[in-house]
Amino acid sequence: MLEPGDPTMEIRRERLDPYLRRTGFYHASLIKRFEYDNPLISAFVERWRPETHTFHLPWGECTITLEDVAMQLGLPIDGQPVSGTLRSWSKFHQRDIWEWCHELLGEVPPGHVGTTKYNIKLKWLRTRLQQMPLELDDNGLMQYARCYILYLLGGVLLPDKANNTAPTVGVVPSSVGYSVLCA
């Protein structure tokens, strides 16, 4: 998914593989950029019935379920749902949101500490991943794995083309330090 600007990008990506596998994001990390088939999308839009949330096709009705998406992306769908907003962070937590993000990601985007900016630009995540040192301890690799997962969430799985930011709430399961990641 990251553009391989130099040969060491593949090495960096391979270093994160064990963490991506443990969190269930490995198969999603294999998704490459693709071109949209606009005529196909238009055909499906014409056959979509919002009142029943189904596609009406010549052989019958069908819909896309969460299980279908999980099978296509290889993502686990077991466990508790994650939802919420960071705007109410201080009501429920005693620590600063950006201090926590620094602990989880190893760094905070410039200009965010002490502010109410509750987003992380994909460009910052991409640059951070491209600058990942080749020699890192386990904690450092976990921090970069979290950055990569946020990049996957914002760039592939839940893209927000308006702001080009990672989603407001992302999940990094227990093997990489269970936390609801702020973005």
pLDDT digits over 76-127, tens only?
777 766 655 666 666 777 777 788 888 889 998 888 776 767 778 888 998 9
Tokens of 38: 């606009």
Mean pLDDT of the chain: 78
Whether the pLDDT of residue 18 is over 70: the answer is yes
Task: Choose between 36 and 18: higher pLDDT.
Answer: 18
Rounded mean pLDDT, 34-62 = 88
Task: Choose between 16 and 7: higher pLDDT.
Answer: 16
Per mean pLDDT, which of 27-41, 85-99, 116-130, 141-155 is the most reliable? Answer: 141-155
Q: What is the pTM (predicted TM-score) of this model?
A: 0.75
Whether the pLDDT of residue 16 is over 90: the answer is yes
Residues 6 or more apart from 46 whose CB is under 8 A from it?
A: none
- Report yes or no: 130 and 1 within 8 Å, Cβ to Cβ: no
d(CA 126, CA 179): 21
d(CA 59, CA 66): 22
Whether the pLDDT of residue 60 is over 70: the answer is yes
How far are the Cα atoms of 44, 69, 120, 134 from residue 64, in angstroms, in the given order?
12, 7, 30, 41
d(CA 58, CA 72): 24
Rounded mean pLDDT, 29-55 = 85
